[in-house]
């Protein structure tokens, strides 16, 4: 257990509304990541953070923004949700040797 | 263009037999490879990894083999158990370091029949 929680775990929203997903970790890990999982695509990196206020884009960053104002929280915001952003979102941290990433339980987001 | 490919969407194996999950990659700069297991409604769980300086790594019932010349890795599970039924993802990264991005395959659904 890497001490990662995500909230909310499920959310249904309407097209055009803003949505913020939260990832919280309790073990002071420096690196945090947001992924989305879709059928036929595996997991794809949206944004990642390498420290407080230090973030960078991943493979599928369009339509998403992130913020990290303190070590333990990494927020993912959909400024104006679209149906193509219906997905399962996972947060991860890096711990231990190499590039081993550990994942949170996920947030299932449905955009109607 | 998919840099990490899992060409078998699903695999069915009898309990007690060997499960072999395969993964191919195209980027010769990848130097670290990982396997994750995922149950429905849960996050992926790290299983085992291998560095490109090795060709084999074992952890209990799980062994990962790396063939760099073929750009191919495989995960062997022996013996397979019903609790191993899950989606398995392989992932790869280049250059090492925590900021490097993991590239995931599309996953293989393993069903272990009792």
Residues A59-76 have pLDDT tens digits of: 899 999 999 999 999 999
Backbone angles phi, psi at A93, to 5 degrees: -130, 160
Q: Which chain B positions have a beta carbon within 8 Å of A31's beta carbon?
A: 98-99
User: What is the per-residue burial (b if ≥16 Cβ within 10 Å, else e) of B64-82?
Assistant: bbbeeeebebbbbbeebee
Whether B31 shows a pLDDT value over 80: the answer reads yes
The nearest alpha carbon in chain A to B7 belongs to A40
pLDDT at res. B2:
82
- In which band, very low, low, confident or very high, does the pLDDT at A98 lie, cut at 50, 70 and 90? low
Mean pLDDT of B22-33: 93
């Amino acid at each position: 257990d890497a001490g990662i929680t995500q909230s909310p775990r499920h959310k249904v929203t309407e097209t055009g509304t803003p949505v913020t997903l939260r990832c919280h970790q309790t073990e002071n890990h420096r690196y945090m990541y947001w992924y989305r999982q879709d059928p036929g695509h595996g997991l794809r990196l949206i944004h990642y953070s390498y420290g407080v206020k230090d973030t960078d884009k991943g493979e599928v960053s369009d339509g998403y923004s992130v913020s990290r104002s303190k070590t333990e929280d990494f927020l993912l915001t959909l400024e104006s949700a679209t149906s193509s952003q219906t997905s399962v979102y996972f947060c991860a941290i890096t711990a231990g040797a190499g590039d081993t990433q550990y994942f949170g339980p996920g947030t299932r987001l449905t955009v109607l | 263009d998919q840099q990490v490919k899992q060409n078998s969407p699903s695999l069915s194996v009898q309990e007690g037999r060997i499960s072999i999950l395969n993964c191919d990659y195209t980027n010769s700069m990848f130097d670290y490879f990982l396997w994750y297991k995922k149950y429905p409604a849960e996050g992926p769980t790290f299983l085992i990894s291998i560095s490109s300086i090795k060709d084999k790594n074992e952890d209990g019932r799980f062994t990962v083999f790396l063939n760099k010349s073929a750009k191919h890795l495989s995960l062997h599970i022996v013996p397979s158990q019903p609790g191993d039924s899950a989606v398995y993802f392989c992932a790869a990264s280049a250059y090492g370091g925590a900021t490097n991005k993991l590239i995931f395959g599309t996953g293989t659904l393993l069903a272990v029949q009792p």
